[in-house]
Amino acid sequence: MSAEIAIPYNDTERPDTGLYNAKLGVWLFLASEVMLFGALFSSYILLRVASDRWEHGADILNVPLATLNTVVLIASSVTMVLSWAALKAHNFARYRRCMGLTFLAGVIFLIVKYIEYSGKLGHGLVPATSTFMAIYFTMTGLHALHVIGGMIVNGYLLGPGAKMWQTEPRRFTNRVEVAGLYWHFVDLVWIFLFPTLYLLPGKGM
């Protein structure tokens, strides 16, 4: 004899926390991500302060391409939240359009990043070139990996994972919200990376 045990608070909020399971989980995960990127930003600050010479990012990095990527990510956060809002309004067709655009924005971001990396490597600028370049490749590379991770989740929710909408629409909407929280976090990291790496003036050069 078998009995199905329903997991509580999968699609409804737990009264004491006001959160459903996945939202609690993603915020715990994002807290660990804050520590990861926080450690890298702290390293950047310490290395920069301790160094006599520091490159001006704009002299060696491609500011126009990074600006384009910033606009792409801000636009993708808008389409991401609109895809969630579409599900809340029970408009699945609009959800697909908005989520598709979010995925496309991720692809554009990575293509631009590839062009940027190719330019740097083509000019012999590698992580071993300087502390600044090491920091640049570490932080932007890790960020790009996070974008790829978000795209895998978004791609799943756009493709095979979307079947859940037919059987458990509320839980599916929650999944999209959680994916949106992660995507916004990744976008937010870039919003801090862009001025830190590309715009801050150098010293002693």
Q: Which residues bind another protein (CB under 8 A)?
A: 27, 56, 58-59, 64, 67, 70-71, 74, 77-78, 81, 84-85, 88, 177, 180-181, 184, 187-188, 191, 194-195, 199, 201
Q: Distance of alpha carbon 166 from its chain centroid, rounded?
A: 28
| E strand or H helix at 116 | helix 92-122
**Least distance to another protein, CB of residue 64, Å:** 8
- Our CB check for another protein shows the closer of 45 and 71 to be 71
Q: Where do we find the tokens 């940027």? A: 116
**Least distance to another protein, CB of residue 45, Å:** 18
**Least distance to another protein, CB of residue 58, Å:** 5
Give me the DSSP letters along 159-171.
TGGGGHHHH-HHH
Rounded CA separation 61/43 (Å): 20
| Amino acid occupying residue 14 | R
- Our CB check for another protein shows the closer of 141 and 201 to be 201
- Our CB check for another protein shows the closer of 19 and 127 to be 19
**Least distance to another protein, CB of residue 88, Å:** 6
| E strand or H helix at 185 | helix 169-193
Rounded CA separation 181/145 (Å): 17
- Our CB check for another protein shows the closer of 84 and 137 to be 84
**Least distance to another protein, CB of residue 3, Å:** 34
- Our CB check for another protein shows the closer of 97 and 184 to be 184
Which two tokens mark 63?
Answer: 């500011």
> What is the torsion angle, in degrees rounded to the nearest 10, for the CA atoms of residue 173, residue 96, residue 108 and residue 183?
0
| Amino acid occupying residue 178 | V
